[in-house]
A and B are shown apart, each in its own frame.
Chain A
Amino acid sequence: MQTRCPYCALQCAMTLTPAGAGAVVEAGDGGLCRKGWTSAALLDSPRRLTHPWVRDGRHGRLREATWDEALDRVADGFRRAQDSGGYDAVGVFGGGGLTNEKAYLLGKFARVALRSSSIDYNGRFCMSSATAGALRAFGLDRGMPFPLVDLDDAGCILLVGSNLAETMPPVMQRLVRQRENGGTLIVVDPRRTPTADAATLHLQVQPGTDLALANGLLFLAIELGHVDEAYIAARTTGWGDVRRAVSASWPAQVERATGVSEPDLRRAVQLLAAADRAMVLTARGAEQHAHGVDTVSAFVNLALALGLPGRPGAGWGCLTGQGNGQGGREHGQRADQLPGYRRLDDPAARAHVAAVWGIDPDDLPAPGRSAYELLEALGSGGGPRALLLMGSNPVVSAPRAAHVQSRLASLDLLVVADVVLSETAAMADVVLPVAQWAEEDGTTTDLQGRVLLRRRALDPPPGVRTDLHVLAGLAQRLGCTATFPVEPREVFDELRLASSGGPADYAGISYDRLAAGEALHWPCPLESSPGTPRLFLERFATPDGRARFVAVSQPPSAEPVDEDFPLLLTTGRVAAHYQSGAQTRRIDELSGDAPAAFVELHPFLAERLDVADGERVRVSTRRGEAFVRTRVSSDIRPDTVFVPFHWAGRQRANLLTSDALDPTSKMPAFKVCAARIDRLEEALR
């Protein structure tokens, strides 16, 4: 069966052939990384859940239960919470890995079955800064407004805060072709990652100062006469303010902030300006900051000044990370959003979606709290007393994780639907075992805005239900009369209606067209429409059709280093694992190769701290401490240490991270905070 990989937003094609209780994977033409190759191992893994579990009493143990008992327990708990605390007392937390159908139905479940405003999802921790930056510049957020194939012919690519050689390796094949075609690659990263190794130029920036770097590049683009005045006049607004704002970013200032030397800044600008078609691509390294949206704006400003967005083969884009990180942010699991990328506070959008759902628009709740704010409110005064969690593992993946864990523990009822007993599921009062990607149909929308069909290749094991079944069963028990179909195709057809006329219009996309192999990028309003691979060629999605420059400046660090915490901590990923590791840590080949977290540090720093390679140390911040082994490498800046975040328990990177939030996107500052490293004998003394 032709389907798609369950992991990242590249959604590589794969063929699954059932074999025994599991399946065998073959790569499609685009190749697969190791995570894709081994993905089928979890289908028949003894580690997956095959029946519901419930916990009796707060301190009881999880015990086996029937589906009826488990779902009744959830419905009773939700009713009880809402009886005493109102509609918002039940929260819903979704994920960017959920299919479009699930994301859509989860949003509908929260707004219609629960009538709760308390819904958000883990995409806040991934895409929200890029989303907000794109919306304010272009009036529309589709991560890459052009197809991936455009990378092959880009004359220069400026890649900011992405290690795609490890996070989405097959896309490197395009960058290799791009280099063979004479293109150049600039990588901005505090570490010399395999991606940076492949670059023409690596700018080893201090974490958290990408904004200063972008403004510095724009300063030099102005000085060197590379600004496209005709494009700016014809297609943008706001240039004057930005030009004035970046006049404060002369090279010596930028060097002090970023550590990147002027000759490298100049070379970067020359490479960008010399290219016929240049692209600026940002990712989590630039976006996961308390000033992530402004950082995105700074790079969009650079792209606009060079005249790139809306030109074929060029532009600004964001590399979406999670499997359905694009579709997952379009169809209503965000606190402020309705399907089709509509706004929950827009009366026309409310009326449209309410009509599809057969309810009174006034019965739709108002926008609610963002992901971290929702998690932080759990079990407290005004926050939810019960939570349904689907497709996420915040005990590992949320910032300031110990605090989040304590909030989850304070709930009256925590319900987790998952494939395996994740760290968050292990805390739950009710655990619902759900089907995996290969066991159900569904669509995802990849990082280029193309909608893809994942096909069911085999049956779920006995005792396992789909997420759609879970939502339908709960809606029915809650006495909700609105439709909650369990067939993905039916849900998708409803989503098409709900999205029709919205910014992310899926009305013209059908399972039949996708199954026939059509490459459909949204918006696609009609069955006769070919979709829109390249956005903005004629006009931007703003009221006046022009892209908007936004003047931004580098703020002071949210958490400056000091004597107690003299190091910069940044977090990220390794090639063998995906997100919180709930899946990949349970696949022997992957966990065997990457069994544990580590802290990467420069030999100079190791010398100063007198720690050896492979020594166990304590890494601590103002929020907590983690215990990991060192990995000494000259690939990292001497003032920075790196801990990957895929592991649980005392190795959790997110015990350390900061919950400072971006004021606009509510993105936590995952990518930089002040830290220290201690040798164990001193730490324990």
Chain B
Amino acid sequence: MSVGNGAGNGHPATLRLKLRIWRQAGPDEPGAFLDVDAHDIPEDCSFLEMLDIVNERLIEDDVEPVTFAHDCREGICGTCGVMINGRPHGPEKATATCQLHMRKFRDGDEIVIEPFRAAAFPVVKDLMVDRRAFDRVIESGGFISAPTGTAPDANEIPVPKDVADFAMDAAACIGCGACVAACPNSAAQLFTAAKLGHLNVLPQGQPERWRRAEAMVETMESFFGSCTNHGECTEACPKEISLDFIAVLNRDYLKAKVKNRRLASQT
């Protein structure tokens, strides 16, 4: 698309969409779809801005606006995320809901919008879910214990570039939960593996490696379903976190069970 100086191009193209939006008053309330005729939606607006427009119109009509989680709107905070026509974050690959733009849809399209669905992510209201189970997984071991003040000079621990890059690939996870929503078992292997893959390969992460692997995997299993290698998680991931990290998780967990048991028997 070429961009002129604006002359004769003052009105961006718009769409008319048939929306089916999930509404649910609270965690224990029944839910149902609200049908919305969304007309005059600018192609250039984002998916969440489209919901903003819908909400403004609902308010005009004295209907309570649709609740949806969102914050940074630049694809990094991980707050937003809905099922769009059955896919977490919608049709565009490697794109969080807030970065999906309406030009990816066609005039007249029907769009079904639902919350992420998983037992570990109860619905708070409408499209908003509670993902606190992720925090419990991190609290169980997703850290390197380095109390403030104890650190040696940063260059005293060299990290080979390929190791640092591998760790960064994993650490790019934004914790949005699309992996869980995409999984037929609602497993959280990709989320957990992203943190284990980040910390367990770094030299700084070695002292707690086996304890971390066992604790995080077992905490994860207390909230989420089991992984059966569908690979839907990585397809849905807005940061394209690789399935390879799940291999790291499985290997480290297995080793950890043996090592930790041996350690336990010695005490």
Do A and B pair up? The answer is no
Residues of A within 8 A of B (CB): none
